[in-house]
């Protein structure tokens, strides 16, 4: 089994960075908009969204670069590598959304 090094460029890392950065950009605002039932709250915290975008993109790159190649090797497909990387990129997005949900309710 191929074990990619940390931060190595591969298709899974690319998929993880894309999923992580786009999801991170809207993770905090989506929680606030959902709980407040107001779509205008989606863009109510621009600085936190920018920080989340950077952090989730970087962590998505690292996790996607580790998970993606393992999926691709298991299923013998580049598409599986992209998909595994995207799943890896969604992990920090879900953690940030969970944190935003917790902070909004408490």
Residue 35: alpha-carbon gap to chain centroid: 21
Residue 7 is predicted with a pLDDT of 84
Residue 1 is predicted with a pLDDT of 67
Encode pLDDT of 78-91 as tens digits: 999 999 999 999 99
Domain range annotation of the chain: 15-105
CA distance 65 to 16: 7
Angle of helix 78-105 versus helix 11-36 axis, rounded to 10: 30
Encode pLDDT of 32-84 as tens digits: 999 999 999 999 899 999 999 999 999 999 999 999 999 999 999 999 999 99
């Amino acid at each position: 089994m191929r074990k990619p090094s940390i931060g190595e460029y591969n298709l899974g890392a690319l998929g993880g960075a894309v999923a992580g950065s786009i999801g991170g950009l809207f993770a905090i605002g989506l929680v606030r908009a959902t709980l407040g039932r107001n779509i205008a709250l989606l863009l109510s915290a621009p600085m936190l969204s920018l920080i989340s975008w950077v952090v989730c993109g970087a962590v998505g790159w690292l996790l996607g670069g580790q998970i993606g190649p393992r999926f691709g090797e298991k299923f013998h497909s580049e598409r599986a590598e992209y998909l595994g990387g995207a799943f890896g990129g969604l992990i920090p997005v879900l953690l940030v959304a969970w944190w935003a949900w917790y902070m909004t309710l408490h």
